[in-house]
Amino acid sequence: MIDTVEVKRIVRDELSTIIHEDREFYEIVQHLVRDQWLESSERRFNKILDELRQDREEQSKKWEEQNQKWEENQKMLNQILQEIHKMSRKHESSIGALGSRWGLHTEESFRNALKSILEDSFDVQVVHVNEYDDSGEVFGHPDQVELDVIIKNGMLIVCEIKSSMSRSEVYSFEHKIAFYERMHDCQTSRKIIISPMVDKYAQRVAAKLGFEVYSYAEDVETI
């Protein structure tokens, strides 16, 4: 019996002879080999494209995940910075109140600082009103009456911004509001006291009269 190796040798030798002697057979073999090579090359090329496409999708997914993490971290950082800024302004307000109380700077400078915070926080304008009460309605004798008012979307908000508030000053605020409403024929929607130092007696009177009391401008509910 002829072994496999011998068979392969015979086929190889005969095939080589036939290819050299028969041009038509050569072209057939060449065509078959070329088609097979092209088909194999196309498969390899498509495989490489699929691998590149898959790798690109994986890289794109990783980038999206990294961008999402970066955005989340950035939001968290901004929130932390805002909280730090808010705490800093609260400390400044407390220090300013103490300074006003002990005469280190004026009550007006403290009020202007808190007005600025309100305007920045709520995109409103705080208008300082100074009118003369010639009948003595507010204080029992003719005097200047000062109020801070905010008008937004037809809503009138009256504010009393002071470094400290006593019970008598809360009552004075009520009289100021009544005077302003009578003078301008209007009705206030909200009555707000902003002061870091409001004693417990003043707190009780404010609650009874329906006033909102805040220690800091940042704590005021949405305007």
Can you give the CATH number for the domain in which 196 is found?
A: 3.40.1350.10
8 and 94: one domain? yes
CA distance 212 to 220: 9
114 and 42: one domain? no
pLDDT at position 39 = 64
136 and 209: one domain? yes
Counting the structural domains of the chain, the total is 2
Residue 214 phi, psi dihedral angles, 5° rounding: -130, 140
49 and 113: one domain? no
Report the phi/psi class of residue 74: left, alpha or beta, with left for phi > 0 and alpha for psi in -120 to 50.
Answer: alpha
Residue 197 · residue 165 · CB < 8 Å? yes
Give the range of the structural domain holding residue 86, as residue numbers without chain letter. Answer: 1-105
Report the largest interatomic distance among the alpha carbons of the chain, rounded to a whole angstrom.
138
78 and 174: one domain? no
58 and 77: one domain? yes
Residue ending a domain, choose from 81, 105, 129: 105
Query: Each residue's pLDDT tens digit in the chain (223 positions)?
Result: 556 666 566 656 666 666 666 666 666 666 666 666 666 666 776 777 777 788 787 887 878 878 787 777 777 777 776 776 666 565 555 545 444 554 445 577 677 777 877 888 888 889 999 999 999 999 999 999 999 999 888 889 999 988 888 999 999 999 999 999 999 999 999 999 988 888 899 999 999 999 999 988 777 878 7
159 and 191: one domain? yes
83 and 116: one domain? no
44 and 89: one domain? yes
Report the phi/psi class of residue 69: left, alpha or beta, with left for phi > 0 and alpha for psi in -120 to 50.
Answer: alpha
CA distance 217 to 126: 12
